[in-house]
């Protein structure tokens, strides 16, 4: 991809910059988008040290801080042009067991991001959401739904300041921590796969695709949108067939807080959404902070929802194997 006009020569801050997405996004920025500086904002000094040892680039800045700390965020955002908010507590069982910790990071943290961006008049902020924010059945999903609403409403607080906020919402990232593909690869060596439910489906996106989608959304955003990529689905049984066709399978049942299928766009949201070639845009119901209209896309049929079990694009076994190449099996 060529250099983005929204990133070239700009100061960009990435919260959660030492995570899987953050590192991939930063590598893409440095390689192809000519930023003036990239600020990593995260809590873990060891991960920042490791990232700094991997990246020899004088445009990098490393700031220790927590999104729960508004004062630190306000200082970190001084002179920033773009914020990509990727910091979150995301492990579903951990969030269930530590609910208010998840609320403080994912909900109060989102409010702090909005407040700090307004205080520093940061032109553009994009926050990363999740398919689990749609009709949430677990606390993680509920916190990400709250975060989406807070980010959208940030445009109201900003008013006519030229400060805008949007979100991106996508599915499971192939090979991310806790992803089923590395787990199946390890279990294949042991000869038995654990299947939650043979009917289960999921949306899937690669890390590279997620990074490209966030950059494209930064270019498209006018404030208040939730951008949803058109991405393929996988059946859990197809992943098993592709990675370990000879292994035995044991059905263990759906875990607490887990869905059989995921949804990226609900029927209610489709009434104020538009379809484009490779993405959907959910527009705020009352965008009274702006003049004019959002870009016109294709109209969605009444009652349309975008769910992983009713998708029109499915990954083949060969595509699943190709996506899994190079992903290490986690230690047992």
Active site residues: 132
- Token look-up 């040892």 returns 53
Q: Please list the helix, strand and coil fractions of the chain in percent, rounded to the nearest 5, in that order.
A: 40, 20, 40
Angle (CA) 95-255-141 rounded to 5° is 40
Rounded-to-integer distance, Cα 283 and Cα 276, Å: 13
**Phi and psi at residue 203, in whole multiples of 5°?**
-75, 145
Rounded-to-integer distance, Cα 227 and Cα 269, Å: 12
Cα distances from 186 to residues 93, 251, 329, in angstroms, run 21, 17, 5
Q: Which of 76, 72, 60 is nearest to 22 (CA)?
A: 60
Q: Which residues pair with 40 in a beta bridge?
A: 14, 62
Structure tokens at 166: 């949007």
CB 52 within 8 A of CB 45: no
Rounded-to-integer distance, Cα 88 and Cα 212, Å: 20
Instruction: Using DSSP, state whether 61 is helix, strand or coil.
Output: strand
- Token look-up 């990074």 returns 211
């Amino acid at each position: 991809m060529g250099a983005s006009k929204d990133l070239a020569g700009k100061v960009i801050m990435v919260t959660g910059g030492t995570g899987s997405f953050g590192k991939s996004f930063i590598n893409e920025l440095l390689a192809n988008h000519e930023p003036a500086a990239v600020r990593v904002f995260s809590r873990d000094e060891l991960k920042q040290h490791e990232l700094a040892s991997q990246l020899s680039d004088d445009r990098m800045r490393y700031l220790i801080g927590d999104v729960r700390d508004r004062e630190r965020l306000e200082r970190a955002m001084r002179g920033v042009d773009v914020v990509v908010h990727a910091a979150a507590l995301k492990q579903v069982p951990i969030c269930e067991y530590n609910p208010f910790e998840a609320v403080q990071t994912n909900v109060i943290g989102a409010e702090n991001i909005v407040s700090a961006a307004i205080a520093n008049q940061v032109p553009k902020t994009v926050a990363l959401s999740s398919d689990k924010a749609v009709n949430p059945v677990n606390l993680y999903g509920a916190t990400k739904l709250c975060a989406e609403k807070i980010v959208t409403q940030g445009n109201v607080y900003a008013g006519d300041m030229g400060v805008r906020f949007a979100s991106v919402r996508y599915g499971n990232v192939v090979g991310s921590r806790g992803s089923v593909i590395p787990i199946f690869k390890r279990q294949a060596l042991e000869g038995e796969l654990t299947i939650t439910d043979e009917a289960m489906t999921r949306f899937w996106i690669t890390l590279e695709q997620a990074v490209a989608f966030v950059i494209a959304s930064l270019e498209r955003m006018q404030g208040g949108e939730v951008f949803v990529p058109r991405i393929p689905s996988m059946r859990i049984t197809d992943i098993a067939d592709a990675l370990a066709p000879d292994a035995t399978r044991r059905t263990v049942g759906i875990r607490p807080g887990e869905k059989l299928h995921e949804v990226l766009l609900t029927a209610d949201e489709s009434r104020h959404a538009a379809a484009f070639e490779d993405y959907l845009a959910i527009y705020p119901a009352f965008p009274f902070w702006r003049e004019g209209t959002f870009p016109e896309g294709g109209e969605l049929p009444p009652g349309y929802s975008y769910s992983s079990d009713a998708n029109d694009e499915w990954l083949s076994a060969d595509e699943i194997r190709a996506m899994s190449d190079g992903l290490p099996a986690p230690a047992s």
